[in-house]
Chains A and B, each alone.
Chain A
Amino acid sequence: MEQKIPTMAEMAAEGKEPEILFWVGCAGSFDERAQKITRDICKILQHVGISYAVLGAEESCTGDPAKRAGNEFLFQMQAMTNIEVLNGYNVKKIVTGCPHCFNTIANEYPGLGGKYEVIHHTQLIQGLINDGKLKAEGGESFKGRRITFHDPCYLGRGNNVYEAPRAALEILDTELVEMKRCKSNGLCCGAGGGQMFKEPEPGKKDINMERMVDVLETKAQIVASACPFCMTMMSDGVKHMDKDQEIKVLDIAEITARANGL
C-alpha cells in the first residue's frame, strides 16, 4: 500500500476520531483473494479523502457464522465483545467489506447495545458516485464489457440492497446483463448459513455449480459480486467449469478501484 492504513488505536492516541470505521471482516483479513479487495476498499477511501480507520488486530469475527449455525452463545459473546470495543472508540459510522458483517452489525447489534450507522462498501461507492466524488476515470476501461452481478443473499434479500452495486457498474458504461435468477430471485452461492465451513449435504450437485448455469447463460466476461463468500464460491465454480480464462470474478470494489486507476 502506498499509504499507511490508519488504526483506531493510533487515531485515539492522537486524540482523533475518524469519520468512518472500515470493518474488514475475517475473510477480508485472512483470505488472500479477499485481502486484495480489502486493500482496494482502502484505496477508494484514500482516493476520495474520507478520514477512516480500521480496528486491525482488535477486530474479531462479528459472530455471523456462529449465529446462522445455531450457536447463539458464541454469537452474543462475539457481539458483546465487539460492541465494547466499538463503543469504546465512540464509533458512529461503519462501512463493511462483507454483507454478512454488514447485516449482523446493522440489524443484530443494536439489540445488544451496538447502535451505529452501517453501510456496505457498495453503498459507500454508490454514495460517492452520487456526490460526484467518485467517477470512472484514469484507469482501466470497462466500456462495453459484458458484466453480470451476482446478488449476495445478505445484501439483496436480507437487506433489500439491490441498486447500490448496480449503480457502481452503470457508471462504467458496461453492458450489464442480468442472470435469469437475479435481485430478489437471486440464487445463493451456497456458502451462507455456515455452509462455507462444512461439506454440503449429499445431493445431485453443488449449489455454486447450479449458479454457473445462470452465469454461462449471460455470456458475461465478468461476474461481479460484493461478498467474500460469494467470491470464493463463484471463483471455484468458474475454475471447475474450466472457464477461468474467459470469465473473471471481481468484487465491485476491485472494479471501481481499477476503473479509477487506484
Chain B
Amino acid sequence: MIGQAIFIIILLAAVYLFGKNVAKVRRNILLGRDTNRSDDPARRWKVMAKVALGQTKMVKRPVAAIMHFFIYIGFIIINLEVLEIMIDGIFGSHRIFSKPLGSLYGLLIGSFEILAILVLVSCVVFLARRNILRLKRFSGIEMTTWPKSDANYILTIEILLMLAFLTMNAADYKLQLLHFGHYIEAGSFPVSALTGPLLPAGANALATIERVCWWFHIVGILAFLNYLPYSKHFHILLAFPNTWYSNLHKKGEFTNMASVTNEVKAMLDPSFVPEATEVSRFGAKDVTDLTWKNLMEAYTCTECGRCTSVCPANITGKLLSPRKIMMDTRDRLTEVGNNIDKHGKDYTDDKALLDNYITREELWACTTCNACVEACPVNINPLEIITEMRRYLVMEESQAPASLNNMFGNMENNGAPWKYSQADRFNWAEKS
C-alpha cells in the first residue's frame, strides 16, 4: 500500500511538473508573430506521417538512420510496457496484461527485450560517435559544454533505463522459474534467458533486484520526461507538430511582406488607401519579431548538425552555422521567457537575438541555397530566420554591406544590379 501511494504521488508530481513546463514552452512559442500554417490539412497530415512518423529524411545518412530508427521504434513500443508498469504501480498488481493478452503477451515481452538490446547498442554506438570517433558534425562553435553534455546525458540515461529494464526482466524471469511469491509465469525472455545466470540465485536477493530495477526504471522515465523541456531531446514530441506546420510552398519562395506591399502600393498610386495594419518592425531584431513557427522550430531542433554540415558557407570556413541560428533563437527565447517569469510580461532587457546572439557576419554569409532546409530531418527552416534578420538590418537600420548598398542603388536607378544603363539593356540583340 505504501508503495502504491508513493508511486501515485511521484506520478502525479511528474505529470504536473511536465505539464507546467510544456505550458511555459507553449507560451514562449506564442510570443512569436502570427502566421497561417493551417491550410490544406490533408497535405499536412501526409507530410507529418512521412517526415516525422516515417522519418524519410533520415535515410540520407543510413548508419545514423538505422540506429535512430531502433531507438525510435524502441521508444514507441516499449511505451506499451511502461503503460503496464504504470497500472501495476497504481494498483499494486504484477504484470497485469499477462492474463488478458495470453500468448500475445509473451510475444510482446520478447520483442521489448530485443528492442531494448537494440536501443542499448545504438546508444552505445551514438556515444562512441560523439566522444571517441568525434564525428565532425557534432562539433562547431555552437557545440559548447552544455549541448555536448546534453547529448551525452540523454544517451546515458537511455542506456541506464534499458539496463534497468533488462535486469528487472532477468530477475523476474528467474523468480518465475523458482515459482517465487507473486511472480507468475508470464512472458518470454529471449535476452533474460541469456543474462539470467549473471544474477544471484537466491530468491530474496532476486526479488530485491527486481523491485529496485522496477522503481529505478519507472522513476527514471518520469524524471527523463521532465528533463525533455530543458533538453534538445524535446524533439521526440515537437517533431510531430513541427512537421505538421511545415512550409508547404516551394523552398525558393520567400514570403512577401504585406506591410511593405501597403507602403509600395501607396508610393506607386497616391490614391491607394492601405488597410490599417499593426505598426511593427520590419524584419526581426529579436525572437518576438519572428513567427511562432520559427520559435517552435527552435525548440524542435535536436542539434544533429545536418544543416551545418551541408552549409556552403560553413563548409568553407565562414562563421555561419545554421544549427547555431536555431540554438541561438531557442536560447534567447528561453531567456525572454525567464525574464517574463521573473519580472512580468512587460519587462525588456537590453539584449536581443541580433548582436547578443547572432552576429551580422553570420547573417551576411548565407547564400540562401536552401541546403540546410533540405537537410533537416524535421523540416526546420533556418533560412527564414536569417532572411528576417537581414530584412531588419536593411530596412530598419540601413546596415547592409556597402557593396550590397551599391547593388540596391543600381537596381533602383537602372533596373539592374550592375551599373549599366537601362537604355543598353537590349544591346545583346545587336551582337553575334
A76 adjacent to B256 (CB under 8 Å): yes
B394 adjacent to A207 (CB under 8 Å): no
Nearest-CB distance from B125 to chain A (Å)? 24
A201 adjacent to B319 (CB under 8 Å): yes
Partner of B256, one of A1, A70, A108, A154: A108
B425 adjacent to A56 (CB under 8 Å): yes
A158 adjacent to B250 (CB under 8 Å): yes
Quick one: given A202-B318, A205-B316, are A69 and B365 in contact (CB under 8 Å)? Answer: no
Query: Range of interface residues on chain A?
Result: 35 or more
Partner of A1, one of B257, B361, B429: B429
B250 adjacent to A107 (CB under 8 Å): yes
Quick one: given A29-B426, A61-B411, are A70 and B390 in contact (CB under 8 Å)? Answer: yes
Inter-chain CA distance A186–B369, complex, in Å, is 9
- B310: A residues at CB distance < 8 A: 185, 187
Inter-chain CA distance A66–B408, complex, in Å, is 6
- A70: B residues at CB distance < 8 A: 283, 387, 389-395, 400
Partner of A198, one of B267, B318, B374, B404: B404
Interface check B265, CB cutoff 8 A: yes
Contacts of A56-81 to chain B: CB distance below 8 A: 56-57, 59-61, 63, 65-74, 76-78, 80-81
A72 adjacent to B425 (CB under 8 Å): no
Inter-chain CA distance A103–B408, complex, in Å, is 20
- A54: B residues at CB distance < 8 A: 426, 429
A26 adjacent to B364 (CB under 8 Å): no
Interface check B347, CB cutoff 8 A: no
Quick one: given A35-B428, A190-B367, are A60 and B416 in contact (CB under 8 Å)? Answer: yes
Nearest-CB distance from A60 to chain B (Å)? 3
Quick one: given A158-B252, A206-B316, are A195 and B374 in contact (CB under 8 Å)? Answer: no
Inter-chain CA distance A172–B264, complex, in Å, is 48
In this complex, what residue of B is CB-closest to A25? B416
Interface check A13, CB cutoff 8 A: no
Chain B residues bordering chain A, tally (CB within 8 A): 70
Interface check A14, CB cutoff 8 A: no
Interface check A159, CB cutoff 8 A: yes
Inter-chain CA distance A70–B267, complex, in Å, is 19
A61 adjacent to B249 (CB under 8 Å): no
Interface check B315, CB cutoff 8 A: yes
Interface check B251, CB cutoff 8 A: yes
Inter-chain CA distance A111–B373, complex, in Å, is 23
- B312: A residues at CB distance < 8 A: 187-188, 190, 207, 210
Interface check A160, CB cutoff 8 A: yes
Q: Which residues of A contact B (CB under 8 A)?
A: 1, 4-5, 7, 24, 26, 28-30, 35, 38-39, 54, 56-57, 59-61, 63, 65-74, 76-78, 80-81, 103, 106-108, 111-112, 153-154, 157-160, 184-188, 190-207, 209-210
- List the 4 closest pairs (A to B, CB-CB), nearest first: A158-B252, A204-B317, A70-B390, A193-B368
Can you list 16 residue pairs at the A/B interface with Cβ under 8 Å? Answer: A26-B416, A26-B418, A28-B428, A35-B431, A54-B429, A57-B422, A57-B423, A70-B387, A71-B395, A103-B253, A185-B374, A187-B312, A188-B312, A192-B369, A194-B368, A203-B316
Q: Which residues of B contact A (CB under 8 A)?
A: 60, 249-254, 256-257, 260-261, 263-265, 267-268, 282-283, 310, 312-313, 315-320, 361, 364-371, 373-374, 387, 389-395, 400-401, 403-404, 406-408, 411-412, 415-418, 420, 422-429, 431-432
A1-B429, A72-B260, A201-B320 known, 19 other contacts, Cβ within 8 Å: A29-B420, A56-B429, A57-B426, A61-B416, A71-B400, A76-B257, A80-B265, A81-B268, A106-B250, A154-B252, A159-B252, A185-B374, A187-B310, A190-B316, A197-B407, A199-B403, A200-B318, A207-B313, A207-B316
